């Protein structure tokens, strides 16, 4: 499971030109799910996301996590994070989990992050053509792969 995490001052997602989800201060998380991902990956990655100390404290140092910042999460499923570009110029997406595996894990991540954060998070819609807008604060962008824990 791969997450691209962006610290944002605002982010939103539209589907069919309709606003579907939006946050102000918080994290935009793009989530890629692969075949071998499990609930263990959801929990490990979810704890990492909520616990990341990437918000500025009173001295401007990145010391605060999402709860201390009173921020929120906009979670977007993105199978293209598992694209392979090793051969040719057309990406291969065979490492991305099929919907029957990915949807339940995506839904578990939504529940896990909501529980960890103590509030409902905002989401996109799995498999939809989404238009995501954000103002990256910093910019701060972090990539975490649950298969690369060491």
Quote the pLDDT of residue 49.
98
Quote the pLDDT of residue 54.
97
Q: What are the start-end ranges of the E strands in 24-101?
A: 26-32, 55-56, 62-64, 72-77
Helix, strand, coil fractions of the chain, as percent rounded to 5: 25, 40, 35
Q: Residue 33: is its pLDDT beyond 90?
A: yes
Q: Could you tell me the sign of the dihedral formed by the alpha carbons of 37, 20, 6, 43, in that order? A: negative
**Domain residue extents for the chain:** 2-145
Q: How far apart are CA 54 and CA 83, in angstroms?
A: 27
Q: Is the pTM of this model over 0.85?
A: yes
Quote the pLDDT of residue 113.
98
Report pLDDT digits (tens) over 93-139: 999 999 999 999 999 999 999 999 999 999 999 999 999 999 999 99
Beta bridge mates, 140:
7
Q: Mean pLDDT for the chain?
A: 96
Taking residue 136's Cβ as centre, other Cβ atoms within 10 Å add up to: 14
Share of the chain above pLDDT 90, in %: 93
At the second CATH level, the architecture of 2-145 is 3-Layer(bba) Sandwich (3.50)
Quote the pLDDT of residue 16.
97
Distances (CA, A) of 104 to 16, 91, 96, 97: 24, 25, 14, 11
Catalytic residue numbers, as ranges: 80
């Amino acid at each position: 499971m791969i997450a691209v995490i962006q610290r944002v001052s605002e982010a939103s997602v539209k589907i069919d030109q309709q606003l579907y989800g939006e946050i102000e201060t918080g994290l935009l998380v793009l989530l890629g799910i692969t075949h071998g991902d499990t609930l263990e990956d959801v929990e490990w990655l979810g704890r990492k996301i909520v616990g990341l100390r990437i918000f500025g404290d009173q001295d401007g140092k990145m010391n605060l996590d999402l709860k201390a910042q009173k921020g929120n999460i906009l979670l977007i499923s993105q199978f293209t994070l598992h694209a392979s570009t090793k051969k040719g110029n057309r990406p291969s997406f065979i490492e991305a989990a099929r919907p029957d595996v990915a949807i339940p894990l995506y839904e578990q991540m939504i529940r896990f992050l909501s529980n960890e954060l103590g509030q409902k998070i905002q989401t996109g819609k799995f498999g939809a053509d989404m238009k995501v807008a954000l103002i990256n604060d910093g910019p701060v962008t972090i990539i975490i792969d649950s298969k690369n824990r060491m």
